[in-house]
Amino acid sequence: MRKLLFLASLGIGLLIGAALRADDGEPSLSYPPSLKGAVRGTVIVTSPQFLEIPEKVRTLAEKPGAAPFDVARTPPTVRLAFHGNLGPDADKRRLWSSWGDIALASDGRVYCAIGDHGNDVGGDARCFVYRWDPKSQTLEQVVDMNQVVPPKTGQPAWSKVHAKVDEGTDGKIYFCCTLNDGNRAKLPSYGWNESLPGGQIYQLDPATGKTVAFANLPARRCTATSLLDRERNIWWCNLEAGEGNALWGFDLTSKKPVYQGADGSVGFNRTFGLLRDGTILFNGEASLQRLDPNTKEARKLKATFPDSPGMRTVSRQTSDGAVYGVTYKTNEVFRYDVAKDEVQMLGPSWLSGAYTTLMLVSPDERFLYYLPGAHGGAFKDGTPVIQYDLSHHRRKVLAFLVPVFEKEHDYAPAGTYGAKLSADGSRLYVNFNGHPTKNRPKHLRADGFGLCSFAEIEIPASER
């Protein structure tokens, strides 16, 4: 009897061991890892060390041409949570990452998205939308795209959200998923069908939790760049995978397209801006251009960016008629006066210049906020959070996040493509890429990707 029990227990043990192992024979890790001291998945961190300048940054700051900066006197309070509920063998997925801007809803909750950069053409990829609730200080998964678009043999799967997440005038949340590379959507290997002809606009109803395919983009097209004109309820995007990039406008009220530009009419395609009168500011082939959606005409502007293909990010338009942003490749902060059609360059975004994909204007228009080093590289400089004083043209670091989180939670928050300011300007919400600093999955490098987090950064009143 004892021998039989032993053999039975051995068999059960072997089955359990097999279940915990992936194809490479390595045991699965609990992923995402637990945050020490977390309450409902969220940790609260504040430390004077947020204000200590990393030695590498001190060295780089002394180089000729480096942008000067100040450091805040009071450290912020940071609430941070990992995106959870990632599915089985989450530590074996290709690359958990976040690529798009986030939405601050009218009720104060924040929506963001991540994906696994998985086997999109083979139909094995995962993509999720989450909601941060500032009141409960919790991050909750609210959309699993494999439930919205059930996997089907021969059909591709969405692996990320690269375009923006937005709240519509109806209070519903709108977003669009894409592939690892949206330009590949036109390839025959992607098995589009009648129910999934290409990119789609999805609508999440926060009241019911239900997500539906609201509308289709033109067939076999995807997008990595979008924005919503809430005043006119028009959803704009850049169409990829054609014979060049093109702007496309869709009326969410009538559910009809209002504009489609000629393929190739957009130059650098990773951002465009919305002006107060509803016109779209975008990168043309050789200069900035403005599209008037009423006349359907785009006109070239005289403004250009030296040695740069254009804007990488652009803010909302301020009350004095300007927009602010950062150029692509040269990584310089700029001010563009819309009425005068003039660009003023304000120096490197950070040190000698760092890739930056978002630019926020504070509600009182005193400050710009941004996080340099978007494509994973921010952690090398400690992941600085920058406040730019528009009156004095001074950069101020509100915090260097990495040293504290690495020490206390074995985590390096790195670059971001999504951030929003609360309505009163007191909190900065950020959807981070990052990586575990010690106990990493075998395939994961310490390069700023693989473990996503959401942070609420409370800015002290004395610093704003």
Mean residue pLDDT across the chain: 94
Q: Evaluate whether residue 457 is within a structural domain.
A: yes
Q: Evaluate whether residue 98 is within a structural domain.
A: no
Phi/psi of residue 9, each to 5°? Answer: -65, -35
Q: Distance of CA 28 to CAs 36, 255, 452, Å? A: 20, 45, 18
Pair (79, 134) in one structural domain: no
Q: Distance of CA 228 to CAs 225, 281, 397, Å? A: 11, 13, 30
* pLDDT average, residue stretch 289-315: 95
Pair (261, 386) in one structural domain: no
Pair (116, 232) in one structural domain: yes
* pLDDT average, residue stretch 290-294: 95
Q: Evaluate whether residue 61 is within a structural domain.
A: yes
Question: pLDDT of 127-136, one tens digit each?
Answer: 999 999 999 9
Q: Evaluate whether residue 19 is within a structural domain.
A: no
pLDDT for 38 beyond 50 = yes
Query: pLDDT at position 10, please?
Result: 34
Please answer whether residues 158 and 151 qualify as being in contact, where contact means their C-beta atoms are separated by less than 8 angstroms.
Answer: no
Pair (256, 194) in one structural domain: yes
Q: How far apart are CA 110 and CA 12, in angstroms?
A: 44
Query: pLDDT at position 261, please?
Result: 97
pLDDT for 117 beyond 70 = yes
Ranges 3-17, 25-39, 176-190, 441-455: which has the least confidence = 3-17
293-299 long-range contacts (CB < 8 A, ≥24 apart) are 293/232, 293/234, 293/249, 293/258, 293/259, 296/259, 298/261, 298/265
Q: pLDDT band at residue 29, thresholds of 50, 70 and 90?
A: confident
Pair (231, 87) in one structural domain: no
Pair (144, 84) in one structural domain: no
Question: What domain range is 41 assigned to?
Answer: 28-92+372-464
Return the closest-CA partner of residue 434 out of 457, 456, 401. 401
User: How many C-beta atoms surround the C-beta of residue 101 within 10 A?
Assistant: 26
- For Cα atoms 452, 395, 311, give the angle at the middle one, nearest 5 degrees: 65
Pair (159, 200) in one structural domain: yes
- For Cα atoms 402, 405, 410, give the angle at the middle one, nearest 5 degrees: 110
Pair (119, 260) in one structural domain: yes
Bridge-based pairing of strands 342-348 and 332-337 is antiparallel
Query: pLDDT at position 5, please?
Result: 36
pLDDT for 222 beyond 60 = yes
Q: Evaluate whether residue 297 is within a structural domain.
A: no
DSSP 240: B
Torsion sign over Cα 302, 308, 310, 311: negative
Return the closest-CA partner of residue 384 out of 349, 421, 423. 349
Spell out the residues 6+ positions from residue 10 whose beta carbon is closer than 8 angstroms to its own. none
Q: pLDDT band at residue 425, thresholds of 50, 70 and 90?
A: very high
pTM higher than 0.85: yes
Pair (122, 36) in one structural domain: no
Domain end (from 236, 251, 269): 269
pLDDT for 8 beyond 90 = no
Portion of the chain with pLDDT greater than 70, in percent: 95
Q: pLDDT band at residue 25, thresholds of 50, 70 and 90?
A: low
Q: Which residues pair with 282 in a beta bridge?
A: 272, 289
Q: pLDDT band at residue 27, thresholds of 50, 70 and 90?
A: confident
pLDDT for 4 beyond 90 = no
Q: Evaluate whether residue 453 is within a structural domain.
A: yes
Q: How far apart are CA 149 and CA 383, in angstroms?
A: 36
Query: pLDDT at position 24, please?
Result: 56
Pair (55, 146) in one structural domain: no
Pair (127, 249) in one structural domain: yes
Helix (H, G, I), strand (E, B) or coil at 25: coil
Q: pLDDT band at residue 26, thresholds of 50, 70 and 90?
A: confident
Report CA Rg, the chain.
23
Give me the amino acid identity at 186.
Answer: K
Q: Evaluate whether residue 101 is within a structural domain.
A: no
Pair (116, 255) in one structural domain: yes
Please answer whether residues 221 and 199 qualify as being in contact, where contact means their C-beta atoms are separated by less than 8 angstroms.
Answer: yes
Burial tier of 395 (Cβ tally within 10 Å: 0-12, 13-18, 19+):
buried
* Tally of structural domains, the chain: 2
Helices (H), 225-381: none
Spell out the residues 6+ positions from residue 183 whose beta carbon is closer than 8 angstroms to its own. 222, 240, 241
Return the closest-CA partner of residue 430 out of 366, 388, 383. 383
Burial tier of 251 (Cβ tally within 10 Å: 0-12, 13-18, 19+):
middle
Q: Evaluate whether residue 447 is within a structural domain.
A: yes
pLDDT for 194 beyond 90 = yes
Q: How far apart are CA 135 and CA 7, in angstroms?
A: 53
234-240 long-range contacts (CB < 8 A, ≥24 apart) are 234/258, 234/278, 234/293, 235/166, 235/174, 235/201, 236/272, 236/274, 236/280, 237/163, 237/176, 238/266, 238/269, 238/272, 239/263, 240/178, 240/182, 240/183, 240/185, 240/269
Q: Which residues pair with 384 in a beta bridge?
A: 400
